[in-house]
Amino acid sequence: MADRVALVPALSARRVRIPTTSFPVEQFTLANGLRVVLAPDRSAPVVAVAVIYDVGIRSEPAGRTGFAHLFEHLMFQGSENLEKLAHFRYVQGSGGTFNGSTHLDYTDYYQFLPSNALERALFLEADRMRRPKITEENLRNQIDVVSEEIRVNVLNRPYGGFPWLRLPPVMFDTFPNAHDGYGSFVDLNAATVADAEDFFTTYYAASNATLALAGDFTVEQATELVRRHFADVPARPRPVRPSFAEPDLAAERRDSYVDERAPLPAFASAWRVPDPITDFDAYLPYVVLAEVLTDGDSSRLVERLVLKDRAVTGIGGYLGFMGEPFEVRDPTALVLSAHLPPGGAVDDVLRTVDEELDRLAGDGLAPGELDRTKARIATQLLRDLDPVLGRALRMGTIAQQRGDAALTNELPRLLGEVTEESIVSAAAALRPARRATVEVVPGGAK
């Protein structure tokens, strides 16, 4: 990485020096509306191909909970020119790996392969972008698969769906923000082929997608291959993305539920934060604040609640209900989640959290605390971007949501410019009256 990382001073009062990146990025848009991001890196003979569609859990219509995730599964069931399982066979036969994932605001599909298989990966993605094989058999089969996934990951697992499924309905009131993104069995079983066809036609247009390539290729080679395989994908209008905005909380909200399989109590709390797209400068201090509070043994809440008071067995803090601070739209939140020892009292822990936030808001940061936190954040950013697959996914999503993949290189610098004053102000804004909390009551499982 030495040739792609430079040390630059962050513009903060302490002049902390943090690493930043200078990965090359080329971007263009095809006539059918497909955004293309190219990030060449000739250091190893591997390539990553990612397609990010601007459709996620929040896009699901009422009565179709879990549909975005179900459709992700359908995209692997064959396509216009390929039979079922062909995608799996061709990628793995090339020595590659693949997957897809559904998020609140987008769905991604990706391959990591030897660079001599680049054209094969592009053909596979273009073919299912034209038309996946949506049949009654495939739909019923994947409804069964998703239903079993819900049983395994949510219903029959301790703390299943905690907190990402359990906390939003406490904080939010509208269907897009509050509903169960995994889906109900009733809604999943009611899905029809016509529903799936409509979902594809609406959201899986080339104009609603970003193709990101990173790895061992030249810009000229990749551009020619992308045009060869994607230029004739039929153009369809990009869907209008509705506003999912909701007013901030005017009073604290609390809820609890019994988890029969949970051996210990737990809770998660969330506070709304500024819009991560349109108010990024105001949003970034909350990203740093979450690390100040919970990252490492020297962080505020770990030191107080875990090491000193022994009031929790562990605590974490992050931005976004899925922990994706740079791949999420508004409304989102700063989330704290913790597990407590037997007999632990959530109210006592919340009072301590409020005390520590008040102390931070009143006394500021300790000497060296901001420097250490920024260094840890920069390290994690570099770790995420060093593999070409991580680079393709991050750049593709940022291009999809922010219009410019090159902003990926700016993240370390922007975080380095976050001031102590802005972090103190962010801590002062985390008031109990703006907090939503969900509590897990253990059901006595041994």
Give the domain range for residue 93: 26-231
This prediction's pTM: 0.93
Clarify whether residues 123 and 261 are in a common domain: no
The answer on pLDDT for 445 being more than 80 is no
Clarify whether residues 413 and 287 are in a common domain: yes
Instruction: Name the domain boundary from 201, 231, 261.
Output: 231
324-381: per-residue pLDDT in tens? Answer: 999 999 999 999 999 999 999 999 999 999 999 999 999 999 999 999 999 899 889 9
Give Cα separations from 373 to 85, 280, 333, 369 (angstroms): 45, 19, 20, 6
The answer to whether residue 295 sits within a structural domain is yes
What is d(CA 318, CA 39) in angstroms, rounded to the nearest whole number? 28
What is d(CA 49, CA 339) in angstroms, rounded to the nearest whole number? 38
The answer to whether residue 331 sits within a structural domain is yes
Instruction: Name the domain boundary from 173, 199, 231.
Output: 231
Share above pLDDT 70 across residues of the chain, in percent, rounded to a whole number: 95
Clarify whether residues 205 and 286 are in a common domain: no
The answer to whether residue 419 sits within a structural domain is yes
Q: Which helix (H) or strand (E) holds 36?
A: strand 35-40
Clarify whether residues 432 and 300 are in a common domain: yes
What is d(CA 405, CA 325) in angstroms, rounded to the nearest whole number? 16
228-252: per-residue pLDDT in tens? Answer: 999 999 999 999 999 999 999 999 9
Clarify whether residues 321 and 438 are in a common domain: yes
**What burial class does residue 425 get, using C-beta atoms within 10 Å of its C-beta: 0-12 exposed, 13-18 middle, 19+ buried?**
middle
Clarify whether residues 320 and 376 are in a common domain: yes
The answer to whether residue 247 sits within a structural domain is no
Clarify whether residues 203 and 270 are in a common domain: no
Tell me how many domains the chain contains: 2
The answer to whether residue 16 sits within a structural domain is no
The confidence band for 444, taking pLDDT boundaries of 50, 70 and 90, is: low
Which residues share a beta bridge with 105? none
Clarify whether residues 89 and 153 are in a common domain: yes
The answer on pLDDT for 12 being more than 60 is no
The answer to whether residue 330 sits within a structural domain is yes
Do the beta carbons of residue 313 and residue 264 sit within 8 Å?
yes
Clarify whether residues 389 and 430 are in a common domain: yes
Clarify whether residues 103 and 190 are in a common domain: yes
The answer to whether residue 237 sits within a structural domain is no
CATH of the domain at 162: 3.30.830.10
pLDDT at position 435 is 98
Range 408-421 average pLDDT: 93
CA dihedral of 134, 140, 145, 151, whole degrees rounded to 10: 140
Clarify whether residues 433 and 301 are in a common domain: yes
The confidence band for 223, taking pLDDT boundaries of 50, 70 and 90, is: very high
Clarify whether residues 427 and 300 are in a common domain: yes
The answer to whether residue 244 sits within a structural domain is no
Instruction: Name the domain boundary from 170, 196, 231.
Output: 231
